A and B are shown apart, each in its own frame.
Chain A
Amino acid sequence: MTTPRIYKTEAIVLRQRKLGEAGKIVTLYTPNYGKLDAVAKGVRRPKSRLAGHLEVLTHTMVMLAQGRNLDVVSQAQAMESFASLRADLHRLSRALYAVELVDRFSPEGAESYHVFQLLLATLRRLAAARNVDTVLRYLEMGLLSLAGFQPQLAHCVRCERSLPAAPNHFGPAAGGVLCPSCEPKVAGSRPLSLNALKVMRLLQSGSFGEVSRVRIDPGLGQEIEMHLRAYLVHVLERDVRSAAFIDRLRREDFWQPAGVSS
C-alpha cells in the first residue's frame, strides 16, 4: 500500500527506546499499517507536547510524516490511556506481557487489523476483568490462530484418531494433543488433563464472553498456562521476557490484589 506523505492512524504503543539527546523511537501497532517504528522528537524533555500521548500501553491517534528512514510523529492525541492498568502492578505486568507477545508475533508492516482489535480488546479487558490470566490465555490462543500456529486440539496430532475422554498429552513440538498411544513416541510432551483440554478448546473457538463464564481454579489455570507457554516458546523460538515478572509477582504475592483472582 502506498502511504501519503503525511498520514493519520490509530495506534497502540508497544515499546519505546531512547534516541539521541531527547528523542525516542516508539514502536506502534496500527490497524492498517501493521507494526511500525516512528521517531518521536524531544519526548524526553518535560515540556514535550507528545510524551504523555505516546506512553507504552496507550491507545492513541497519531499523525505521522514519512521520513527518509523512519516516519516521524508530528502530532499525537491519547484516546485511552488505561489508567487502571497503570495503577495495579498485577494488571500492569499482564499488559506488558500482552504487548510484548504482540510485538514478537508481528513482523514489521504485516497486515494487522484483527491483531490490533484483539490487542485493544485485551487491554480493555485487563483494565477491568476479574481474572486477568484468562484474558492472557485468550490473547495467546487468538494470536496463535491469527499467525497460523493454531494448535491441534480436535484429534490426536499424530495418528489423527479422535481423543479418548481421558487424560492425554500435549506436545509443543508436535503442535497439538497426543493420544495415550502416540504420546510415548514423541519427546517433550506433557500430561494434559481433560478439563484443561476442554478449556483450551473453548479458548480456541469460543468468544471471550463464553470463556470468562467458565470457572477456572488456580491449578487448572496453571496447567493451561504451562502448556500454552511451552507452545509459544516453541513457536517463537524464544522466551517471552515479561513472563518472568508475572511469575515473580505471584511468588512474592505481597498482597491479594483487589478484584483479581489468579
Chain B
Amino acid sequence: MDVTPSAAGPVVRLIEEFHKLPGIGPKSAQRLTYYLLRAPEEEARALAEAILEVKEKITFCSVCQNVTDRDPCLICASSERDSSIVCVVEEPLDILALERTHCYKGFYHVLHGVISPMDGVGPEHLKVGELLERLKDGSVQEVILATNPNLEGEATAMYLGRLLRPLGVRVTRLARGLPSGADLEYADDLTLTRALEGRQEMS
C-alpha cells in the first residue's frame, strides 16, 4: 500500500490494519489512524478492548449457530417463541433484518454462507448437518428457507428443499416479488412473473 515513507512504524502498521477491513480504502485508513492518534487514550483503549472482547467472548450458539455471548443465545433461550417454526438464513445479519419486522416469532438457523459451486463452496461447508440434527426430534413442523433470492440463494434453497422434504417437515420459501416503492417499468421479467404468480386477493 502507498503510505508516506516518513510516517512512523506503528502509524504505518495501524493504517495497514485498517486497510484490511472491508470498505476501508487507503485514504479512510489514514484518516481513522490520525483520528485515533489525536483521540484521548481511553477512547483508543475502549476500541481495542471491544475488538478483543468480541473475539474472545463471542461464540456460535449451539442451537441456531448465530453469533452469541451466551449459549444458547437469547432467541433460542426465549420461552415466548414458537418452537414449531425454524427460519433458515444465510448470515447472522439476516436475523437482525428479520427481527426488525417484529412479525416473526419462531426460531432461526444460520447457515454461515451459501452454496456457491464456482467458489468451491458446497453444502459440506455450511451448517446443514446441524440443521438436520435439529429437525430429528420432530418438534419442528415448518422450515422457512429465507436465503437471498439470487442465484446462490436459490440453489441453496433448492438443495435444502430436496434434503428436508423427505423428513416430513413443511418446507416454505420467502415470497419473491416487487419491493415496496418499486417501479413496474424497471422490474425484470423473472420478478414480475413471481409477483404475478404470488398475487393475492384484495381484502
Contact of B162 among A21, A92, A255 (CB under 8 A): A255
> What residues of chain A lie closer than 8 Å to B179, measured between beta carbons?
46-47
Structural contact, B123 and A55, CB atoms closer than 8 A = no
Smallest CB separation, A58 vs chain B (Å): 8
- Which residue of A is nearest B194, CB measured? A83
Interface size on A, residues (CB 8 A): 33
- Which residue of B is nearest A248, CB measured? B122
Please, how many angstroms separate the alpha-carbon atoms of A188 and B158 in the complex? 38
B41 within 8 A of A: no
Structural contact, A49 and B162, CB atoms closer than 8 A = no
- Give per-residue flags for B144-185: 1 if the beta carbon is below 8 A from chain A beta carbons, else 0: 000000110011001100110010000000000001011100
- Give per-residue flags for A222-241: 1 if the beta carbon is below 8 A from chain B beta carbons, else 0: 00000000000000000001
B120 within 8 A of A: yes
Smallest CB separation, B1 vs chain A (Å): 17
Structural contact, B117 and A96, CB atoms closer than 8 A = yes
B74 within 8 A of A: no
> What residues of chain A lie closer than 8 Å to B118, measured between beta carbons?
15, 96, 99-100, 103, 241-242
Smallest CB separation, A210 vs chain B (Å): 30
- Give per-residue flags for A78-121: 1 if the beta carbon is below 8 A from chain B beta carbons, else 0: 10010100110100110011011001000000000000000000
Structural contact, B23 and A93, CB atoms closer than 8 A = no
Please, how many angstroms separate the alpha-carbon atoms of A64 and B186 in the complex? 17
Structural contact, B159 and A83, CB atoms closer than 8 A = no
A244 within 8 A of B: yes
B190 within 8 A of A: yes
Smallest CB separation, B137 vs chain A (Å): 23
A163 within 8 A of B: no
Please, how many angstroms separate the alpha-carbon atoms of A97 and B150 in the complex? 17
Contact of B117 among A81, A83, A97, A255 (CB under 8 A): A97
> What residues of chain A lie closer than 8 Å to B154, measured between beta carbons?
86, 92
Interface of B is mostly: helix
- Which residue of B is nearest A245, CB measured? B117
A216 within 8 A of B: no
Contact of B151 among A55, A103, A254 (CB under 8 A): A55
Select the residue from B151, B154, B155, B166 with max chain A CB neighbours within 10 A: B151
Please, how many angstroms separate the alpha-carbon atoms of A155 and B167 in the complex? 54
> What residues of chain B lie closer than 8 Å to A20, measured between beta carbons?
23
> What residues of chain B lie closer than 8 Å to A57, measured between beta carbons?
151
> What residues of chain A lie closer than 8 Å to B120, measured between beta carbons?
241, 244
> What residues of chain B lie closer than 8 Å to A248, measured between beta carbons?
122-123
> What residues of chain B lie closer than 8 Å to A245, measured between beta carbons?
115, 117, 122
A52 within 8 A of B: yes
Q: Which residues of chain A (37-82) have a CB below 8 Å from chain B?
A: 46-47, 49, 51-53, 55-57, 78, 81
Structural contact, B151 and A52, CB atoms closer than 8 A = no
- Which residue of B is nearest A241, CB measured? B120
B42 within 8 A of A: no
Q: Say whether, besides A100-B118, A241-B117, A248-B123, A81 and B190 are in contact (CB < 8 Å).
A: yes
Show 6 A/B contacts (Cβ-Cβ < 8 Å), sorted by A: A47-B179, A49-B183, A78-B189, A81-B189, A81-B190, A246-B117
The 7 closest A-B pairs by CB, nearest first: A52-B188, A245-B117, A49-B186, A242-B117, A241-B120, A46-B179, A254-B162
Not counting A89-B158, A241-B118, A248-B123, a sample of 9 additional A-B residue pairs whose C-beta atoms are within 8 angstroms of each other reads A51-B188, A52-B190, A89-B159, A96-B117, A96-B151, A103-B118, A241-B117, A241-B119, A245-B122
